[in-house]
Structure formats: C-alpha cells, structure tokens
Amino acid sequence: MRGYAPASPDNKYPHRYLTMPTFKAPVRDINFVLNDVLNVGQLAEFERYADATPDIVEGVVDEAAKLIENQIAPLNQAGDTVGAQFKDGHVEMVDGFKEAFQAYAENGWMGLSADPEYGGQGLPFVLSKAVEDMLCAGNVAFALYPGLTQGCYEGLEANASDEIKATYLEKLANGEWAGTMCMTEPQAGSDVGAVKTKAEPQDDGSYLLNGGKIFISSGQHEMTPNIVHFVLARLPDSPPGVKGLTTFVVPRKLVNADGSVGDDNGVSCVSIEEKMGLHGSCTCTMQYDNARGWMVGKPNQGIQSMFVMMNKARIMVGMQGLGQCELATQTAIRYAQDRVQGKPLTGGDDVPIIAHPDVRRMLLTMKAITEGARVMAYETSLYEDISVASPDEAQREAASDWVELGTPLTKAFCTDAAVELGSLAIQVYGGHGYIKEHGVEQILRDSKILCLYEGTNGIQAMDLVRRKIKMKGGALPQRFFDKVEAELETYAGDAPEVADALRTALAALKDGTAWLQQQLKDDPDAAGAGAVPYQRAFALTWLGMNWLRMAAKAKVLPDDAFKQGKLATAKFFAAAILPEVGSLCSSIQRNASLTMDLPAEAFLAA
C-alpha cells in the first residue's frame, strides 16, 4: 500500500502517509551475484551438481521469487500483529501460515539442496541460500519453520544411523513433517555444556528423556502431522560439561513401523514466549516426560554432532539477517522516492526526501552494506558446495577452510547489519517510521534476535578469534589475504578508487590479525576485548573485495540504472565505509588492555 491512506472505518489515521513494506525480490541482484560475481556455474562441472547450469539457477530464483512475493511476504504483517498464540495447550498459527508452509514444501523448496536419496532435489547449497535470502526478506518469522526443519534434517543427515535416516529424512526434506533444534535450557545458553536434560537407556535400544528446554523455535504447531526434535541431552554416566553431551531424535508423535504417525510421545509445549518481534514464529518452552528418543551419533559426542550442522545453521541465520537488510533497504528507498518534504540545499521547490544529501547517505550506506553482504553470504555458501563436491582434495580442503572462516563472519555481520539498517530505515521514515501502521519498525524488532540466537554475535567473535584465526597456524586468514591480493591484481584497473581503499584496509586487517594472534598467547583478555570490532573489520574488508569485484563486473553491463547503482555504490563504500577498518584495527590495539582495568563492582558505583 503506498500513498495517503483513504479514510475508512479501518483506517484510524487517514492523515498519515502510509507505505507498508511491499517486498519485491531482488532477482536481478541475486542473479548478478550468483552468475557474474561468483560464477556458480562452475559447480556444474562437478558430477554432484551437473544439473546446476546457469539457466536452471535463474529458473529456480524466478520461481521462488513468485511464491515468496505472492503468498509468503503478504503474511508478514499479520505474523507480527496477530502472532502465534498459545491456547488450550496448543500453538495456533497465524492464518495462512499453514497453507504457505505446504505450498513451500510441495513446490520442493524445503528440500532444494537435500540429498535426492532422501527426496531432495540435490541442487547446490548456495542456491538454497539465495532462495532463503528472498524468503527471509519476505517474511523472516515464517522462514524459521522451514529453516529449523532444514536444520534438523542436516543434524540427522550428518550423524544419524541409516535406520533413523530412513525414518525421518525424506519426510523432513519434503516438508511432510517439520523439525526443531533443541539445545537451550535456563542455565545453558551460550554454555551448552551446562545442559541437564537426562536420557536413560532402555532395553529396546531407545532412551527415555526427562527435563525441559526453553526458547525452542517451532517447538509446537499444527502445520504438520508430526514434528521431529533434534535434542541435546546427557546420559546418566556422562562426564560434566561439553564432553558429556549426546544428541537424540525425539518425535512429537511416535512413528509406526510402516512410517505412519502413531501415538503421542512424552514431549509437550507448556507455554510460548511474548517477544519483542518475530511474533509469527512460536518460541516454545518444551517439557520431556519420559519422551522416547533415539541416539544420534555416538555417546558423549553430541558437541561434535552439533558442530557438523552448526556451520549451516549459522549461515542460515546470516541469511535471515541479509533478508532483513534487503527489506529495510528497499523499503526505505521506496519511501524516500515518494515522501515530499523540504527544499533542496541548492534552492527550489519541495522535493522527495531522496534529494537530501543526508537521506542519500543513509540509503547508500544501506545499499552498500546489503549488496556487499550478499556476496559474502553467497560466497561462504558456494565454498560449502565446493568443499563437498570437488573431486580435488586440496580444493575441498581450501573450500572447507573458507567455510570455517566465513561462517561466523556471515552470521555476525549480516545480523548486526540488519539491526543497523532496520534502525536506518526508521530514520529515513522520520517519525512515521516509529508508528506501527507503517510496518517499518517491525524490521528492527524482528532483527534483534538474529544477533542473539544460534550463538550470540559475541560468541561468533570468540569463534573467529580464538579458533579460526589460529587454526592451522593462521592458514585461514592467510587464504583470505591471498584471495584479496589476487582479486586486486585482477580488478584494480577497473575500479582504482575501490582498489586503493581496499589495499589500505587489507594492510590494517593484517596488522590487527597479527596483533590478535600474538595476544592469544600473551594476553587472552586483550584478544577477547578486541574480538567484536575485529570481526566487523574483517567483514568490511571482505565487503571491500566484493565491491571491487562488483564494480569490475558491472562495468561491462549495458548502461542502465542497475549498472549506475553498482558503480556509484562501490565508490561510496570505498570512500565512506571501508576506511572504518583502519580505525577498528588500531583501536583494538590501543583499547583492549583498558577493558579489563575497571573492577566489576565499580561499573555501577553509587
């Protein structure tokens, strides 16, 4: 809905200027990133992805865009205002969610990258992420239902016995059943080693689970006849901490020998949370009372099982952030093109606010971050595909290193950016952005959780600094530096301003990396204090490389607004945003030791 809202009994505020966010999938940019910048067509050379030719890729993006724009995005506002409800022990979905889930499943989107042996389409992971990018922009709360189902599928696929796989995987891949990931307990948030839920072995090889979980997304609903829970628990004789965790599959309803849905299992939802945003997604408190489960993987190796699926789950949350960045950006741009207010600084009549330099600064920042982050998120996903599909062992290993490095960066940067851009979108709307009827403040409310779940962004920074930059003697960041240098070699002549800024940023990042690697040995607290700013500096340098490549690839496109947008935004990113890397990397070296000086009790001195 755009323009002045008509006076009607439903419209309490006819004087207000309403532009509800209407999502339009960024199909052209997605295809540009997939095909021109990252050349995902290279995957078709691997036997596993022989079908992923450029025309198939474009067809998939087009078809998914239609379903998301027409059926799923229109439910976004009702998801927020009505939300999932807990009534008489059951979770009620927002009208239309069940039908949308079924349409998404029946059209094969749930199992797009799942193994054909289990009913999936076997297409590349990066393509499924492109679809997820659009889905999370259209309706991020809805996206959690298929997202958790895929997460559960991945956890079982990587770790479960053939029998468990045969029972569950196909039904998860085709969306007949939904899934969850159940880790968190009141005392076990970031520290999953504190999980207490108990699993007692039974004579028939199954386990009885007792205990409770909190904050379980999609924990209960009636959209599917069964829900498959991937649960972290503890065996009776297990050692304390993370070394005593084991994973289990616990279906909401037991599965009969013929695969049909049987009796209730002892797993129930006792309440759902009232949240700041993401209202369409139910966040459940779960209770296990002698719930029957089956071990997934080996005893006391739950943490290893989880690590296998964690990269994918974290990339998924990165895509949620990216989607919200896209929604914030396109919504703010449309509003700024429409909203007339004030005269230009150079004089003349009233103009749409997009004429004002400060509004342009905000919009260009949003565009630069969103489109740059898209390349980072897709590239990490592309490396995931190469790491499993390449016949060359060295290439597989290099790709896997990239996934290790890219995962915390994608998760943390895209989700922090969603909050930053959600806030900027409100700023572009002015006071109207703070009013619910416009729908733009929903983006900020929906986005904040993305920085918190699946490992807070502080935990991502710890992963980056304490594990990834020292793994293999520092080989992972070195691969990144080498790649940036190679891209500079290839493309510097196409975008010299971007290349110059990128060279400066890269030098600062190398310096910051060497300093942190040293602090990990000398002063771990100093490394911990610098971790989050360093994470941003790293991601911004990656975006610098992305804008260099985008500028070079855009240069050869036919002259039009898309090309103009790419070339101008690349220069803006290099001039206005990339220099932040230098100040971030020098500030962590100057400030880090100071962070620990103040005694904890002096923080709130009366």
Ligand X SMILES: Cc1cc2nc3c(=O)[nH]c(=O)nc-3n(C[C@H](O)[C@H](O)[C@H](O)COP(=O)(O)OP(=O)(O)OC[C@H]3O[C@@H](n4cnc5c(N)ncnc54)[C@H](O)[C@@H]3O)c2cc1C
475 Cβ contact list (under 8 Å, min separation 6) = 401
What is the nearest approach in angstroms of ligand X to the Cβ of residue 79?
Answer: 14
What is the nearest approach in angstroms of ligand X to the Cβ of residue 399?
Answer: 27
460 binds ligand X (CB under 6 A): no
Smaller CB separation from ligand X, 43 or 527: 527
Distance CA 578, CA 531 (A): 18
Smaller CB separation from ligand X, 133 or 454: 454
Within residues 291-330, the interface with ligand X by CB under 6 A covers none
Give the contact letters, 250-289, x = binds to ligand X (CB under 6 A), - = no.
Answer: -------------------------x--x----x------
Q: Which of 154, 157, 454, 487 is catalytic?
A: 454
What is the nearest approach in angstroms of ligand X to the Cβ of residue 339?
Answer: 33
Distance CA 529, CA 167 (A): 46
Query: Which residue shows structure tokens 């992971």?
Result: 125
DSSP 6: P
Cross-strand bridge partners of residue 181: 230
DSSP per-residue codes, 194-249:
G---EEEE-TTS-EEEEEEEEEEET-S-SSSS-EEEEEEEB-TTPPSGGGG-EEEE
Within residues 80-109, the interface with ligand X by CB under 6 A covers none
Which residue stretch of 184-192, 237-245, 324-332, 393-401 sits at the interface with ligand X (rule: CB under 6 A)? 184-192
What is the nearest approach in angstroms of ligand X to the Cβ of residue 160?
Answer: 18
Query: Which residue shows structure tokens 């479960």?
Result: 160
Within residues 197-216, the interface with ligand X by CB under 6 A covers 215-216
**Site for ligand X (CB under 6 A): which residue of 139, 150, 217, 285?**
217
Which residue stretch of 89-97, 286-294, 458-466, 536-544 sits at the interface with ligand X (rule: CB under 6 A)? 458-466
Bridge pairing between strands 90-92 and 198-201: unpaired
456 binds ligand X (CB under 6 A): yes
Which residue stretch of 158-166, 181-189, 220-228, 424-432 sits at the interface with ligand X (rule: CB under 6 A)? 181-189
Residue 91 phi, psi (nearest 5): -95, 125
Smaller CB separation from ligand X, 182 or 551: 182
Smaller CB separation from ligand X, 395 or 456: 456
Give the contact letters, 486-525, x = binds to ligand X (CB under 6 A), - = no.
Answer: ----------------------------------------
Q: Which two tokens stand for residue 443?
A: 């983006």
Distance CA 183, CA 281 (A): 17
Which residue stretch of 9-17, 239-247, 404-412, 457-465 sits at the interface with ligand X (rule: CB under 6 A)? 457-465
Exposure string for 216-248, b = 16+ CB within 10 A, e = fewer: bbbbbbebbebbbbbbbbbbeebeeebebbbbb
190 binds ligand X (CB under 6 A): yes
What is the nearest approach in angstroms of ligand X to the Cβ of residue 218?
Answer: 7
Which residue stretch of 84-92, 307-315, 437-445, 456-464 sits at the interface with ligand X (rule: CB under 6 A)? 456-464
Which residue stretch of 3-11, 179-187, 260-268, 351-359 sits at the interface with ligand X (rule: CB under 6 A)? 179-187
248 binds ligand X (CB under 6 A): no
Distance CA 527, CA 292 (A): 44
Distance CA 527, CA 547 (A): 29
**How many CB atoms sit inside 10 A of residue 393's CB?**
8
CA distances to 18, 93, 422 from 82, rounded to whole Å, are 20, 9, 21
Smaller CB separation from ligand X, 183 or 363: 183
Query: Which residue shows structure tokens 């020098």?
Result: 586
DSSP 453: S
Smaller CB separation from ligand X, 285 or 387: 285
Query: Which residue shows structure tokens 């998939």?
Result: 60
Residue closest to ligand X (Cβ): 189
454 is catalytic: yes
Smaller CB separation from ligand X, 67 or 136: 136
Which residue stretch of 112-120, 408-416, 450-458, 519-527 sits at the interface with ligand X (rule: CB under 6 A)? 450-458
Size of the site for ligand X (CB under 6 A): 20
Distance CA 231, CA 249 (A): 6
Smaller CB separation from ligand X, 187 or 337: 187
Bridge pairing between strands 283-296 and 267-272: antiparallel
Distance CA 583, CA 599 (A): 27
Bridge pairing between strands 178-182 and 227-233: parallel
What is the nearest approach in angstroms of ligand X to the Cβ of residue 276?
Answer: 9
Residue 480 burial by Cβ neighbours in a 10 Å radius (0-12, 13-18, 19+): buried
Whether 541 and 581 have beta carbons less than 8 Å apart is answered as yes
183 binds ligand X (CB under 6 A): yes
**Site for ligand X (CB under 6 A): which residue of 100, 449, 526, 592?**
449
Smaller CB separation from ligand X, 85 or 490: 85
Residues that bind ligand X (CB under 6 A): 181-184, 189-190, 215-217, 275, 278, 283, 449, 452-454, 456, 458-459, 462
The catalytic site residues sit at: 454
